[in-house]
Amino acid sequence: MSVPVTPTASATSQACDVLVVGGGPAGSTISAFLSRQGWNVVLLEKDRHPRFHIGESLLPMNVPLLDRLGVLDQVKAIGLPKYGAEFNDNGVTLTWYFKDALVKNRPNTYEVRRSEFDHVLIEHTRTLGTEVHEGVRVTDVEFRPGQTARVKTQDESGNPRQWETRYVVDATGRDTLLANRFGVKQRNPEHNSSAVFGHFSGVPRRPGLDEGNISIYWFEHGWYWMIPLKDGAMSVGAVCWPYYLKSRSKPVDEFLWDTLQLNPMVAERMKDAKLLAPALATGNFSYQARTMYGDGWLIVGDAFAFIDPVFSSGVYLAMNGAERGAAVIDSMLKKGDVSVAGNRALLRNYERTLRRGLKWFSWFIYRITTPAMRRMFMHPRNAFHMEEAVLSLLSADVFDKTPIARPLTVFKMIYWVATFWYWRESLASWRQRQRAWNTRLDYVWKSGD
């Protein structure tokens, strides 16, 4: 039986029960739930809030989670209601409404400016008792069997600090602190994408209740998003194959504008738009870690995996994993044993649950640009409740007991039939994906050059 380890502060270190690295949605969520349970939680964030971040579109299943977290009213105040997702292809527009999912009582969610949303979350965890330190980077982590972990940090002025903690949570997003440290981060074996994006003014919105809906368009090299924000801005970007982004020979701003002209529907909607700040681009967009836990540590949110933002799943998967992870850590700390050996069933069930939800999203996301999938999304049928099940997926209803498995399996079967039916187009799409996978693109967040 493991002996409980109590962190002890010294002249050169400070102590806590849980040290969370990263103050995005995952880090703020897991620290809030753990602080609410009475644990001594410290959260370290390398930047200072509010700070820019992409990924503004939430999903309906975010709403009850935000309510449980205690910030729903604050998010409503900064958010623009979103009732569905609009898909556009070859001059045709079709909107999928969340109210038509298998569970009918989750009709909407919100579009949020992430600087505001993330700030709400980190301030909320602070009010619950989390000790928040911004402008602090982790320089080293030392895990010592049977003892507390030691975490070394440095603030913006270069001042060092050391923490003794019973448990470490990696919520560092794309920095992937522990996945890099343990060598478990890998390129996504089935998907490889990149993105270029910016915030614009002067982009027309849809009328009425559709004002806040996300718009999705396809083009030769990937797909576009348009996400309306409450302050009148529009987040616009293109998720594209890496070989296309690698072909860039001009400043990012110009490259984004040129990319937006490749689809006539997008070009028309953007004709009076103005870029509000320098455009951004990122490569190596899709990755995952081989494991999400070890003795005294857990990886949550984008620090574990990121697929592709086409279904706006990132924030919900991060916050859902954080909420469930908080329950796991709470159980281990109360038990006095944070080892894998002493909690194998608990940790395996946690990982199995999260991977199952990730798998449902991934199957659709990996194929969203294929000719068969485009046709099925633009011509939905509700036979065997397929349309309702896809809407449940688009709502992120993949962790509850909603019966999506059978209708989505039927959808997959029809997809494969359609793939063989349009075999020439499917083969060309497959070759394009192979070219994308074989293209390595290693820059991140290059701006204005």
**CATH class for the region spanning 14-56+113-186+287-358:** alpha beta
Rounded Cα gap, residues 422 and 265, in angstroms:
24
Q: Say if 14-56+113-186+287-358 and 79-111+192-285+367-449 have the same CATH topology.
A: no
Rounded Cα gap, residues 195 and 188, in angstroms:
16
Task: For domain 79-111+192-285+367-449, give the CATH number.
Answer: 3.30.9.100
The residue ranges of every structural domain in the chain are 14-56+113-186+287-358, 79-111+192-285+367-449
The pLDDT score that the predictor gives to residue 137 is 96
Q: Express each pLDDT in 52-104 by its tens digit.
A: 888 999 999 999 999 999 999 999 999 999 999 999 999 999 999 999 999 99
Rounded Cα gap, residues 381 and 229, in angstroms:
31
SS (H, E, C) the chain: CCCCCCCCCECCEEEEEEEEECCCHHHHHHHHHHHHCCCCEEEEECCCCCCCCCCCECCCCHHHHHHHHCCHHHHHHHCEEECEEEEEECCEEEEEEHHHCCCCCCCCEEECCHHHHHHHHHHHHHHCCCEEEECEEEEEEECCCCCCEEEEEEECCCCEEEEEEEEEEECCHHHCHHHHHCCCEEECCCCCCEEEEEEEECCCCCCHHHHHCEEEEEECCEEEEEEECCCCCEEEEEEECHHHHHCCCCCHHHHHHHHHCCCHHHHHHCCCCEECCCCEEECCCCEEECCCEECCEEECHHHCEECCHHHCCHHHHHHHHHHHHHHHHHHHHHHCCCCCHHHHHHHHHHHHHHHHHHHHHHHHHHCCCCHHHHHHHHCCCCHHHHHHHHHHHHCCCCCCCCCCHHHHHHHHHHHHHHHHHCHHHHHHHHHHHHHHHCCCCCCCCEECC
The pLDDT score that the predictor gives to residue 2 is 43
Q: Express each pLDDT in 370-405 by its tens digit.
A: 999 999 999 999 999 999 999 999 999 999 899 999
Which residue did the predictor score with more confidence, 19 or 285? 19
User: Taking 70 as the threshold, does the pLDDT of residue 437 lie above it?
Assistant: no
pLDDT class of 7 with cuts at 50, 70, 90: low
Q: Express each pLDDT in 100-119 by its tens digit.
A: 999 999 999 999 999 999 99
User: Nearest-CA neighbor of 302 among 191, 189, 176?
Assistant: 176
User: Taking 80 as the threshold, does the pLDDT of residue 311 lie above it?
Assistant: yes
User: Taking 70 as the threshold, does the pLDDT of residue 22 lie above it?
Assistant: yes
- Kindly report the average pLDDT of the chain as a whole number: 91
CB neighbours (10 Å) of residue 425?
15
Q: Express each pLDDT in 270-301 by its tens digit.
A: 999 999 999 998 876 678 899 999 999 999 99
The pLDDT score that the predictor gives to residue 186 is 84
The pLDDT score that the predictor gives to residue 422 is 87
Q: How much of the chain, in percent, has pLDDT values that exceed 70?
A: 92
The pLDDT score that the predictor gives to residue 449 is 39
User: Taking 50 as the threshold, does the pLDDT of residue 444 lie above it?
Assistant: no
The pLDDT score that the predictor gives to residue 446 is 40
Spell out the residues 6+ positions from residue 76 whose beta carbon is closer than 8 angstroms to its own.
110
Q: Express each pLDDT in 192-244 by its tens digit.
A: 788 999 999 999 999 999 999 999 999 999 999 999 999 999 999 999 988 88
pLDDT class of 141 with cuts at 50, 70, 90: very high
CB burial readout 317-347, b (16+ within 10 A) else e: bbbbbbbbbbebbbebbeeebbbbeebeebb
The pLDDT score that the predictor gives to residue 284 is 62
Rounded Cα gap, residues 57 and 239, in angstroms:
15
The pLDDT score that the predictor gives to residue 285 is 64
